[in-house]
Amino acid sequence: MKITVAAFLFLTCMALLSTKEVFAARLMAPQLRCPCIQTYSGKPINPKLIQNIEMIPAGAKCKNMQIIATLKQGQTCLNPKDEWVKKIIEG
């Protein structure tokens, strides 16, 4: 019985470690496509609702700058050409 419990704990620990390594490898792996396939084109978002903004410059993977806004409901891509987005970035 003790051997079964020890084997179970060992296998559980190994599974958790391998999952953590796979997750870390995904974070470090380069992206092969643009994260923003479509940008938000609705009414301006109140800057107070935006928790974080991530700007990814144009490059080999994406021909346009990518602006990803994190809101309480999740993430959305913003159009960097919209005037209200420019004001949020500057301000």
Contact of 75 with 33, CB cutoff 8 Å = no
Indicate if the pLDDT at residue 69 is higher than 50. yes
Indicate if the pLDDT at residue 47 is higher than 80. yes
Indicate if the pLDDT at residue 22 is higher than 50. no
Say yes or no: 39 and 70 in one domain.
yes
Say yes or no: 47 and 77 in one domain.
yes
CA dist., res. 56 & res. 68, Å (int): 8
Contact of 65 with 77, CB cutoff 8 Å = no
CA dist., res. 2 & res. 74, Å (int): 46
Does the pTM surpass 0.75? The reply is: no
Tokens of 72: 């309480």
Band (20; pLDDT cuts 50, 70, 90) = very low
Say yes or no: 38 and 74 in one domain.
yes
pLDDT of residue 70: 95
Lowest mean pLDDT among 5-9, 11-15, 22-26: 22-26
User: How many domains, the chain?
Assistant: 2
The three-state secondary structure class of 38 is coil
Largest Cα–Cα separation, the chain: 68
Indicate if the pLDDT at residue 16 is higher than 80. no
Say yes or no: 72 and 88 in one domain.
yes
CA 28-61-20 angle, 5° bins: 15
Q: What is the CATH number of the domain that holds 52?
A: 2.40.50.40
Tokens of 16: 């958790």
**Domain range enclosing 49:** 33-91
